[in-house]
Amino acid sequence: MTALLLISAAVLIALGSTLIYLASANQRLFSAALPTRVLAWVGLLLLVLALFLLLQYSGPGSAVFILVTGVMFVWTIPPMVIAYLKHKTEEQS
């Protein structure tokens, strides 16, 4: 039960963080304009649900720390991957 709870929270953190990243004006994953308000609100809702699940597992301080650490981890991945892929395509040209 605990593993399912933590896996669900991790998936919600990953999805919520990704949606909030896509809501940013500085995101470079898609060149087309995205519905930023909808993405931001849905991402925030997913993060609140993840926090609710984490509160079932640990205390409030630990749950918030786990959530924020997960969000920071997910936000470091897209810029690096995008930069790597752009460098790879420029190198092949």
Rounded to an integer, what distance in angstroms lies between the CA atom of residue 86 and that of residue 2? Answer: 40
Exposed e or buried b per residue across 18-40, where buried means at least 16 C-beta atoms within 10 angstroms of its C-beta: bbbbbbeeebeeeeeeeeeeebe
Q: What is the mean pLDDT of residues 55-84?
A: 93
Q: Is 25 helix (H, G, I), strand (E, B) or coil?
A: coil
For the chain, how many helices (H) and strands (E)? 3, 0
- The pTM of the full predicted model, rounded to 2 decimals, is 0.86
Q: What is the mean pLDDT of residues 28-54?
A: 91
Residue 30 pLDDT greater than 80, yes or no: no
Residue 14 pLDDT greater than 90, yes or no: yes
Q: What angle do CA 11, 14, 18 make, to 5 degrees?
A: 140
pLDDT in the model for residue 93: 67
Residue 29 pLDDT greater than 80, yes or no: no
Q: How many residues are listed for the chain in this entry?
A: 93
